[in-house]
Amino acid sequence: MPIYVVGHKIPDSDSICSAIALAHLKNQIGEPAVATRLGELSPETQYILDKFGFETPEYKTSYAGEKIFIVDHSEVGQAPDDVADATIVGIVDHHKLGDLTTSTPLECWIRPVGCSNTIIKQMYDFYGIEIPKNVAGVMLCAILSDTVIFKSPTCTPVDKAAVEDLARLAGVDDIVALGMEMFKVKSAVEGTPVRDLVKRDFKDFDMNGHKVGVGQLEVIDLAVFDSIKDDLQADIAALKEEGGRHSVLLLLTDIMREGSEMLVVSDSADLTERAYGKPTTDGKVWLEGVLSRKKQVIPSLQDAFK
């Protein structure tokens, strides 16, 4: 029975590239593994896989009776719907510790770094396994994406060291140019259905019994949203009602300006004031210096629900 390596629902580049990189490592150490996914690829992730010659991992939603290795999260709400009927054999993650539990011992690699692929790089080093050029390439891109080309406050010296090694293995001379190409792909929103944009990088969280959805779109220039911002606002309102959520927040992150405009629909009118000390005006609030959902948005939001 193979181990299925799978990330979170609505996968981002780190989730998909982690599944690919970890499945390869497991196969190299004699533990048969298959990379899978729980959702469609984002344009950025498709760009990464195309650039380094990878097929899209298998789309698989049911894991009952299977062995699974979770990457890039440890949350029940982000896991396969039937995760309780699977055997979790391991977790690799760089987020807060979630609510997944197991009935058997498991392998855990959880580190406070900027990207799950940074941890997987440490796993390759631990086992003494050489990283192939194409695997190194997708791992490199995932780290550049998650750390916003080192701009994110989640970025650590460990991430930068991993990028240096992976760039050498992948034959990439200009990592900034590569990162900017990826973010140009992310910034191409014209013609994309609004719901697809809202759900491109969207996660649900349980905050003291309240279901809260938080999405993020990272672009080079927020001007790309000028003509569709009202539509985005309307769609997160619809998403709130459809999912029975208490709140839905959408971060429009400008990586060059290094800040985010947050669109907010919530049952609590003072939510952003309680969480970030800034009131919402017309369903929007500007958060200077905020680039990271994981480190700068979710912790304060959870505190507001206590």
Max Cα-Cα span within the chain: 56
The ranges assigned to domains in the chain are 3-184, 194-304
83 is written with which tokens?
């995760």
**Cβ 94 vs Cβ 111: under 8 Å:** yes
Domain spanning 194-304: CATH superfamily: DHHA2 domain (3.10.310.20)
pLDDT at 158: 98
Average pLDDT in the chain: 96
pLDDT at 110: 98
Could you tell me what percent of the chain has a pLDDT over 70?
A: 100
92 is written with which tokens?
């690799």
pLDDT at 55: 97
Per-residue pLDDT, averaged over 212-228, amounts to 95
32 is written with which tokens?
């048969």
Q: Position of tokens 């140019």? A: 177
* DSSP letters spanning 80-126: -TTGGGSEEEEEEE-S---S---SS--EEEE-SSS-HHHHHHHHHHH
Q: Is the pLDDT of residue 269 over 90?
A: yes
* Res. 23 pLDDT band, cuts 50 70 90: very high
pLDDT at 190: 85
Q: Which of 222, 260, 26 is nearest to 120 (CA)?
A: 26
pLDDT at 80: 97
* Res. 278 pLDDT band, cuts 50 70 90: very high
Could you tell me what percent of the chain has a pLDDT over 90?
A: 97
Residue 236, CA distances (Å) to 191, 210, 233, 239, 243 in order? 18, 16, 5, 5, 10
**Cα–Cα distance between 292 and 272 in angstroms, integer?**
16
pLDDT at 28: 98
* Res. 78 pLDDT band, cuts 50 70 90: very high
Q: Is the pLDDT of residue 188 over 90?
A: no
What is the fold of 3-184?
inorganic pyrophosphatase (n-terminal core) (3.90.1640)
pLDDT at 34: 98
**Cα–Cα distance between 111 and 169 in angstroms, integer?**
23
**Cβ 212 vs Cβ 301: under 8 Å:** yes
**More confident: 4 or 186:** 4
193 is written with which tokens?
């259905």
